[in-house]
Chain A
């Protein structure tokens, strides 16, 4: 068998398809017949120095794939399978793996490092393979360089796979000691030093305790900073990557080193090769990210809510940092605006400058203005572009008071540059800058308007003109128009854009028809601008929005004509359908929100729905997300009339609910079920068995992305409200699901911010389900069916209250459920309610809340309770 394995593995990489297929088939059979032997054979292949590199590499790869998968449910299957594997097979495999780390063949070592890390990722959390780290680290000083390198690489992968909690501090200390020694300048082998530096990148998350110790931290930081000066490019790069990771993981520990780091990064930005320079800039961008987050948490009132104080590193470095970033702006590449994948030092520096402006606000303006003034009129395009970019980058952050006078002066110049500058790059950045001006300094919240009756016409003329320019410039002009329209969002019933509405819409449609609209995202940008123009339009132009309906319908119709498309064409068709359905969604929502236009609009409903159904029919297995979103808006606009579309639409609704892979589609479809329940009320009843079956299946699946679960619970509530006591037959399925989700939310709370957010959205979904069910059963003779669930629900409310980590939305919904429970169950639940904590402390806390919605819900609950217990 062993001999055969080599050949099969080689055949599996054969150029000849039949040979390959046969080999893959026999590997599969082998695996199915005897998994332990299969894995053991592979590990022996990997360990055997006499075997060809190719078969060893593939053996390692198959081993790795037998231990891990991207998909969550498959991954957990593989974990279980490994844990259940025969222990003696496992220990033999491990012996082979550890042995391979000493192989003379680099590829075999490298693959093995990854396999060991995968096994560790499964076993260490189970307290298995406790001797692994010890055996890797024993004698590390005496190892020949190639084995040392493989060992450090393994430690690095291991730190990536395993979470810090499962490794004792003692072992962490040993890992870090080995890694940092490997990084030291005294280490003779560059391979070892590189592997150590990369390993540190992953090990940083384990070093919490070590970073809190001044001496150890000083040592680590010294070694990292020294590595940034290594003659070897890869080592410098890896060292800067460590610095970037440290800036976010240990922001609060940076103070003693920040001056040195500034010197190191400044030198790298000015002198080093681009990959390193990019990391050096990224360090400062990452510090900006940290400080922006902290200052946001301060919320301006310095109550110190943040756990970590702001050290104002950016503010302190400002006089040196800004000139360094401004210099990078002059290093543009010739065609970077046409190249979607471009990323260079000028782009990184520009992005960094934007972040610095957001971090420090007004202070940046005087440091950037001289650069702009000096360069904006220079004959060299790089200087004009850099100056324009610098201007655009400081528009977010500084106050409107500081910026408005400058922008008022600059606006005319920018408009003229957009039409007259000979360089596309300059025009691109100019249009982007105009967009930023409109985004941040134009709108109802700004006191001194930048756009006035005097210049409005000129601005629009210039933008529409620019939409005829090359695709990348036209795209930015569309973007500018987007924000121009957005600024008039709350303008009331009369918009300054109204006189130009027709012309703007016409120009945007023309852009979408350009032969080169597929370049630079131009078509998308044009539709997005059109959407925003429609969203922010006023009733003066409602009739023109109505006229847009058949126009977009025809466009959508055109996409349905092509039959038997090649796959890339089909993708393009689907993308275009997405844009058109998105546009229709915006139009439907706009027209549906005002009575006279809605009345006229519903005449198109049949035709639009027909088109959406045909868009769905273009695909076999999935539904189109944008069409689904648009249908939700349509159901909202048509109300009960939507019932007539249900027979045909239902199968797509079900298909959307079954789409586990593209969970966004599933989530959107769940939302649409809610829209339809509200539109149809009890007319949704015939479809409820199917919908509920699917929703329950979704909930019990471990494949579905967790973010879809809260909306599914809310959707239970929507359905219960729509069909009232007919929800009875789903109670025995839905209630246990709600109950176990409630219990889960009590366990998961408080792990970290992200988990707390999720837990709160889960709670909110569960609570909305309860509210819907209680209110749906209100006044029904079947109310008593709910009584047995009341104790658990009240306990859930109490546990939320005790948890102390609910957000305002949960607070409002939870106290509302208390009211709904009291309202529907009345005196049957009186004594239960009186015993619950929620009806006392929680209610009182909500009653004295400053949030009006919470207070309102609480007053309702108080009233409902007082009735329930007085009867």
Chain B
């Protein structure tokens, strides 16, 4: 019957620093464990998914898309395989958002790199072979490479391992340009900062002969993309510098950001006519349509949304119209933005003048992201110019606070 001890902590913090150290250790261990499992799962899938036919761009009548993910049923699993795999894969790559306003502290917190034109893909090497898969899950190449365990040639001196690189395949010189590293010899870089990953990348690649010219056991050359601190000189070099590849805009990486699968504002892409041939989206025939076109996903309730998480709602379709047109939720639909344009209030989309064009091409796994639509919209009106980037860097260096870039769209 001991009376309760009354004493409460007095003028002392609740949590001891020792407890804090224990908890931080546990957190580090938990993160490392999660990162490793994540990497293994990705590698496992990259390696074992059966090769698929490249979906044809001109297929006339798309198969009905599967129902929304919440009514997933095993009986449909084999049918789902294609699009589901594509959706899954696309979420594994770190997908930069489009730059629609200039981040603060560019010179302090960001790297800039010229983006090679080509196909974004994961390259995984393991067990004597190398496989590259595009964002939609289709295999681009299966080949021997000088990456660790990337060909049968290696005598396998080290323990079995897998390595995963984030690359862009540049057709013209048949080269994989490595833009990021996810795993190297089974060591996961997921929860490492961009700074850490980038600085390791060069020395890791140098351990192998991956940057050598092609040979029998090394079918494609791997190259690095130069990266710079995003100060005036870095931006200048990335924007105007000579590179061995065709440039398609610039990539910006926040140096403190971990490798985060899916869309992230901590990596950004920006382009203008000077550094890219593909600034404004073209249609199937390579023509710039007179009105901006967007691809949105139809939801259960008739709303059409972007692929962001959470999705941004652009409009809502009439249920009668949906029935008449035989549309199902989950369908990707193509719209043109009419003369009414996009109405933005307080930085939020309030109304969009959408005109329905039809279902989207079957090769598409995703609706557009909000940042892409806004970037394309700005490109057609008042684009974010290189001068704006330069001005932002200059004022950031001066220490002045940067006004948000005013966006007047439509």
Task: List chain A positions with a Cβ less than 8 A from chain B.
Answer: 153, 156-157, 160, 198-199, 201-202, 237-238, 241, 244-245, 278-279, 282, 285, 343, 347-348, 350-351, 428-429, 432, 439, 476, 479, 482, 492-494, 527-528, 531-532, 578, 582, 585-586, 589, 593-596, 626, 629, 632-633, 636, 639, 664, 668, 671, 674-675, 678, 681-682, 714, 717-718, 721, 724, 768, 771-772, 775, 778-779, 816, 819-820, 823, 834, 839-840, 843-844, 847-848, 852, 856, 859-860, 862-867, 869-870
CA distance A867 to B17 in the complex (A): 48
Shortest 5 CB-CB contacts between residues of A and residues of B: A866-B77, A870-B78, A528-B17, A848-B70, A595-B199
Assess the B6–A863 pair: CB atoms within 8 A: no
27 A-B interface contacts by CB (under 8 A): A199-B1, A241-B3, A279-B6, A347-B10, A482-B13, A582-B21, A593-B196, A594-B195, A595-B196, A629-B25, A664-B22, A668-B22, A678-B33, A681-B159, A682-B159, A718-B33, A721-B37, A775-B41, A819-B41, A834-B74, A840-B74, A844-B72, A847-B70, A859-B87, A860-B45, A865-B74, A867-B49
Q: Which residues of chain A have C-beta atoms less than 8 A from B44's C-beta?
A: 775, 778-779, 823
Which single residue of chain B is at the shortest CB-CB distance from A768? Answer: B33
Q: Which residues of chain B have C-beta atoms less than 8 A from A278's C-beta?
A: 6
Q: Which residues of chain A have C-beta atoms less than 8 A from B217's C-beta?
A: none
Assess the B48–A867 pair: CB atoms within 8 A: yes
Which single residue of chain A is at the shortest CB-CB distance from B68? Answer: A848
Assess the A198–B195 pair: CB atoms within 8 A: no
What sequence of 0s and 1s flags, for each residue 227-267 of chain B, a beta carbon within 8 Å of any chain A beta carbon? 00000000000000000000000000000100001000000
Assess the B49–A636 pair: CB atoms within 8 A: no
Instruction: Report if A843-B72 is in contact (Cβ < 8 Å); known contacts: A343-B7, A714-B33.
Output: yes
Tell me whether B81 is interfacial, beta carbon within 8 Å: yes
Q: How far is the CB of B88 from chain A (nearest CB, A)?
A: 5
Assess the A201–B195 pair: CB atoms within 8 A: no
Instruction: Report if A432-B108 is in contact (Cβ < 8 Å); known contacts: A528-B17, A671-B29, A867-B48.
Output: no
Q: Which residues of chain B have C-beta atoms less than 8 A from A834's C-beta?
A: 74
Assess the A432–B195 pair: CB atoms within 8 A: no
**Which residues in chain B, 32-60, are within 8 Å of chain A measured between CB atoms?**
32-33, 36-37, 40-41, 44-45, 47-49
Assess the A862–B10 pair: CB atoms within 8 A: no
Assess the B6–A844 pair: CB atoms within 8 A: no
Assess the B200–A595 pair: CB atoms within 8 A: yes
Task: List chain B positions with a Cβ less than 8 A from chain A.
Answer: 1, 3-4, 6-11, 13, 17-18, 21-22, 24-26, 28-29, 32-33, 36-37, 40-41, 44-45, 47-49, 69-74, 77-78, 80-81, 84-85, 87-88, 91, 105, 108-109, 127, 159-160, 186-187, 193, 195-196, 199-200, 256, 261, 309
Q: Which residues of chain B have C-beta atoms less than 8 A from A859's C-beta?
A: 87-88, 91
Q: Which residues of chain A have C-beta atoms less than 8 A from B45's C-beta?
A: 823, 860, 863-864
Assess the B196–A594 pair: CB atoms within 8 A: yes
Which single residue of chain A is at the shortest CB-CB distance from B37? Answer: A771
Assess the A847–B69 pair: CB atoms within 8 A: yes
Q: Which residues of chain B have C-beta atoms less than 8 A from A629's C-beta?
A: 21-22, 25
CA distance A157 to B18 in the complex (A): 37
Q: How far is the CB of B249 from chain A (nearest CB, A)?
A: 25
Instruction: Report if A778-B40 is in contact (Cβ < 8 Å); known contacts: A160-B1, A633-B25, A866-B80.
Output: yes
Q: Which residues of chain A have C-beta atoms less than 8 A from B70's C-beta?
A: 844, 847-848
CA distance A864 to B47 in the complex (A): 12
Assess the A492–B33 pair: CB atoms within 8 A: no
Assess the A479–B10 pair: CB atoms within 8 A: no
Residue from B29, B48, B69, B127 whose CB has the most chain A CB atoms within 10 Å: B29
Q: Which residues of chain B have C-beta atoms less than 8 A from A594's C-beta?
A: 193, 195-196
* Given A586-B21, A856-B261, 17 other A-B residues pairs in contact with their CB atoms under 8 A: A156-B1, A199-B1, A201-B1, A343-B10, A348-B6, A428-B11, A476-B11, A531-B17, A771-B37, A834-B74, A840-B73, A844-B72, A847-B69, A848-B70, A859-B88, A867-B81, A870-B77
Which single residue of chain A is at the shortest CB-CB distance from B7? Answer: A343
CA distance A156 to B87 in the complex (A): 65
Q: How many A-B residue pairs have CB under 8 A?
A: 178
Residue from B44, B48, B78 whose CB has the most chain A CB atoms within 10 Å: B44
Q: Which residues of chain A have C-beta atoms less than 8 A from B22's C-beta?
A: 629, 664, 668
Q: Which residues of chain B have C-beta atoms less than 8 A from A844's C-beta?
A: 70-72
CA distance A179 to B322 in the complex (A): 74
CA distance A186 to B6 in the complex (A): 30
Assess the A671–B24 pair: CB atoms within 8 A: no
CA distance A668 to B199 in the complex (A): 32
Instruction: Report if A432-B11 is in contact (Cβ < 8 Å); known contacts: A595-B196, A860-B41.
Output: yes
Q: Which residues of chain B have C-beta atoms less than 8 A from A160's C-beta?
A: 1
Assess the A285–B8 pair: CB atoms within 8 A: yes
Instruction: Report if A429-B11 is in contact (Cβ < 8 Å); known contacts: A594-B195, A595-B195, A629-B22.
Output: yes
Residue from B8, B11, B41, B91 whose CB has the most chain A CB atoms within 10 Å: B11
Assess the A493–B77 pair: CB atoms within 8 A: no
Q: Which residues of chain B have C-beta atoms less than 8 A from A866's C-beta?
A: 77-78, 80-81, 84-85
Residue from B25, B48, B91, B199 whose CB has the most chain A CB atoms within 10 Å: B25
Assess the B8–A816 pair: CB atoms within 8 A: no
Q: Which residues of chain A have C-beta atoms less than 8 A from B33's C-beta?
A: 674, 678, 714, 717-718, 768
Q: Which residues of chain A have C-beta atoms less than 8 A from B309's C-beta?
A: 852
Q: Which residues of chain B have C-beta atoms less than 8 A from A593's C-beta?
A: 193, 196
Which single residue of chain A is at the shortest CB-CB distance from B41? Answer: A860
Which single residue of chain A is at the shortest CB-CB distance from B71? Answer: A844
CA distance A705 to B363 in the complex (A): 56
Could you say which of A343, A778, A839 contacts B74, with CB atoms under 8 Å apart? Answer: A839
Which single residue of chain B is at the shortest CB-CB distance from A849? Answer: B70
CA distance A593 to B195 in the complex (A): 10
Q: How far is the CB of B215 from chain A (nearest CB, A)?
A: 27
Q: Which residues of chain B have C-beta atoms less than 8 A from A671's C-beta?
A: 25-26, 29
Q: Which residues of chain A have C-beta atoms less than 8 A from B11's C-beta?
A: 428-429, 432, 476
Which single residue of chain B is at the shortest CB-CB distance from A724? Answer: B160
Instruction: Report if A636-B28 is in contact (Cβ < 8 Å); known contacts: A582-B18, A682-B159, A860-B88.
Output: yes
Could you say which of A350, A482, A664, A865 contacts B77, with CB atoms under 8 Å apart? Answer: A865
CA distance A839 to B71 in the complex (A): 12
CA distance A476 to B88 in the complex (A): 53
Which single residue of chain A is at the shortest CB-CB distance from B45? Answer: A863
Q: Which residues of chain A have C-beta atoms less than 8 A from B73's C-beta?
A: 840
Residue from B4, B37, B87 whose CB has the most chain A CB atoms within 10 Å: B37
